[in-house]
Amino acid sequence: MWMDEQLFLKKLNSLCTSKEIFDFLRSLEVMSDTMASGALQRISEVEVDDNGLKNPEGVLENEVFRALCFQFEFESSKLSNTGLLNALQALIKLRIDPQSTLMASLLSEGKERLDKGQLTVRNLCALGESLLELEGPGCAMLEQIVNHMQEKDIDKWSPREVVMVYKMLQVTAREGEQYQDLLNRLNGVTLNIVSQLSPAFTSIILNSLVVLHQTRAVPLVTALCKHSVKHIPYFTGDELVNVLEAFLYFGHREEIFTEALETYVPKSIFTMHPQTVSKIMQYCCQKMILSKPIFDAVAEGFISDADTFTTDQIAGYIIPFGTLNYQPPSASSLFKKLETVLHSRFSHFQPRTLLNLLHSCVLIQRYPVNFLPKIFSPYFLQQLQAQPPGLDRIVTTQLTQLFLTVTLECPFYEGPRLLPKYQIKAFLMPHSSLDVHLLKRVKTGLLYLLKKRIYFASEVSTPYFYTVDIEIKLDEEGFVLPAAQCEEVHRRIAVCVDGRTRFCVNSCNLLGEEAIKRRHLQLLGYEVVQIPFFEIESLQNCRKMAEYLHKKIFPHTYRLGC
């Protein structure tokens, strides 16, 4: 029996088991090499899953399969490029021993044709894909393939070929700009075909752009990030992680991307891999995006499945709640579950991960008093010091803030305290950099109101680790005192000039580190007055600012001291 190739492939693709395929092949007397390689590919599709070959003996020992392999091994020089390279890809997928004479024969033939320049762009990509799968990044032939690709007409490449070249460049370009010219051309061509890219291709290209440090390819990155929105329900977990990492690396944020996540995550939280969820939370945390639909769903996922998470995943789920100062409706169950997990797996956590986790809890008034004796113990502090980068400023800030929280907010705590040598003199507040322009406007308004600059001080370091944006002192009768005066101070007003960086994005919700600062300043005796950017941005002149500050800081009246 002889059959047309197109009919053969159509019939082949309708078969769903290797037995059906082998029976079909037995009925044919003649097959071209492309038909034979197509048969191998179909066998690999139906017989290989995530765990490997389902029925090794039934496939590898089958007489038809062995006859196909014999033909490819001993007639490799007679094969068409398509037949040769399709067979190689199928045999790799079927886990045929890379050291076997069959594989050696096919690879040798592929190398010879590469050396002679006989391979088309499609052939080069197929060979490159096989080599990446078989030998990994260290394969010398990959660089040879990329060099050949530079000579081809890039404008005629298909999306699959574009993606394959990105993957090869990812492992051959490394550091330096050896292939930057090719990359520039590739980035330009890819920009024109973004709308044609599948979820997998979109993810691969974004990942390659990150690995290849393509920070100048802004139009392409922007287009890919926007295009990724429609693929969110269809990305695999690993693909979505690649996309999120690209958003983070390139500093990109799309409101419609967040909205798509808000639709997808609540529906899928119980089937999503915890590593994917952790990356989504990292994205929200670093971009300061407080998405209640996402956070509420993640809380439910944690309550349900936290026992199966790694320690890093546990931290990845929980820390953003503290950073962005949000307690979900299920907060009671969420932190009860966290406490249970910590009791059973406390010793499994890396010291720094554990400190980050417990510090994030106190930001939102969830006090881990049962674990603080261990945190303040000399043994744990030695572990922290031994873990690079040791007791740096971030670690000592977190330890000191835990200590201050226990002192001010947990008077019932009777365990060990943090020794003075581990305490920092002033807190490091990375997100809360002072908005200098906003501070200047407020100071100008205060000067207009109080008439003299001596009546307030700015960026005041307190004895309690915090820095106050503006401090105003009053005596017992309510007179405003000169800022330098230390006697007869009855009230201290801490004016917090809050720019955008102290809030979650597009929100009036303060970040966790700002919320705890206000609580502590109040407990330390300050009257805290918040001046948020969204209340004063529209004030056009100094007089209006002064009127606003009068109502805000001195709601009843004020008097100046001598």
Angle in degrees, CA 82, 88, 93, rounded to 5: 125
Burial class (CB in 10 A: 0-12, 13-18, 19+), 375: buried
> Where do we find the tokens 């398509």?
82
Phi-psi region of 488 (alpha: psi -120 to 50; beta: other; left: phi over 0): left
Q: How far is it, in rounded angstroms, from Cα 339 to Cα 362?
A: 13
Q: How far is it, in rounded angstroms, from Cα 229 to Cα 261?
A: 9
What are 177-211's pLDDT values in tens digits?
778 889 999 999 999 999 999 999 999 999 999 99
Q: How far is it, in rounded angstroms, from Cα 114 to Cα 128?
A: 11
| Cβ–Cβ under 8 Å, residues 443 and 458 | yes
Question: Residue 33 is which amino acid?
Answer: D
Average pLDDT score over residue span 270-283: 97
Residue 318, SS3 per DSSP: helix
Q: What tokens were used for 323?
A: 């950073």
Reported for 120-125, long-range contacts at CB under 8 A and 24+ positions apart, including other chains, are: 120/81, 121/149, 121/152, 121/156, 121/157, 121/161, 122/158, 122/161, 123/81, 123/82, 123/85, 124/148, 124/149, 124/152, 125/160, 125/161, 125/164, 125/165
Angle in degrees, CA 61, 62, 65, rounded to 5: 105
Q: What percent of the chain has pLDDT over 70?
A: 97
Q: How far is it, in rounded angstroms, from Cα 557 to Cα 446?
A: 14
| Cβ–Cβ under 8 Å, residues 403 and 359 | no
With residue 408 as reference, give the H or E element that holds it. helix 393-409
| Cβ–Cβ under 8 Å, residues 451 and 465 | no
Burial class (CB in 10 A: 0-12, 13-18, 19+), 36: buried
Q: 430: pLDDT confidence band, cut at 50, 70 and 90?
A: low
Any idea how long the chain is?
A: 562
| Cβ–Cβ under 8 Å, residues 360 and 321 | yes
Residue 480 pLDDT > 90: yes
Q: How far is it, in rounded angstroms, from Cα 60 to Cα 561?
A: 96
What is residue 176's predicted lDDT score, i.e. its pLDDT?
Answer: 52
What mean pLDDT value characterizes the chain?
92
Pick from 89, 97, 91, 83: nearest CA to 35? 83
Q: 376: pLDDT confidence band, cut at 50, 70 and 90?
A: very high
| Cβ–Cβ under 8 Å, residues 530 and 498 | yes
What is residue 561's predicted lDDT score, i.e. its pLDDT?
Answer: 45
| Cβ–Cβ under 8 Å, residues 197 and 205 | yes
What is residue 464's predicted lDDT score, i.e. its pLDDT?
Answer: 86
Residue 87 pLDDT > 60: yes
Q: How far is CA 560 from CA 449, 456, 495, 550, in A?
A: 10, 11, 18, 13
pTM score, two decimals? Answer: 0.89
> Where do we find the tokens 């995006």?
289
Average pLDDT score over residue span 116-137: 90
Q: What percent of the chain has pLDDT over 90?
A: 79
Cα distance between the two ends of the chain: 112
Residue 192 has a CB neighbour count (10 Å cut-off) of 11
Chain-centroid distance, C-alpha 454: 48
What is residue 521's predicted lDDT score, i.e. its pLDDT?
Answer: 96
Q: How far is it, in rounded angstroms, from Cα 34 to Cα 485?
A: 92
Alpha helices in 413-541 (DSSP H): 436-450, 512-523, 533-536
Average pLDDT score over residue span 273-288: 97
Q: How far is it, in rounded angstroms, from Cα 443 to Cα 457?
A: 9
What is residue 520's predicted lDDT score, i.e. its pLDDT?
Answer: 96
Average pLDDT score over residue span 396-405: 95
Q: 562: pLDDT confidence band, cut at 50, 70 and 90?
A: very low
Task: Write the CB contacts of 399 (distance below 8 Å, at least 6 apart in sequence).
Answer: 355, 375, 381, 418, 422, 423, 424
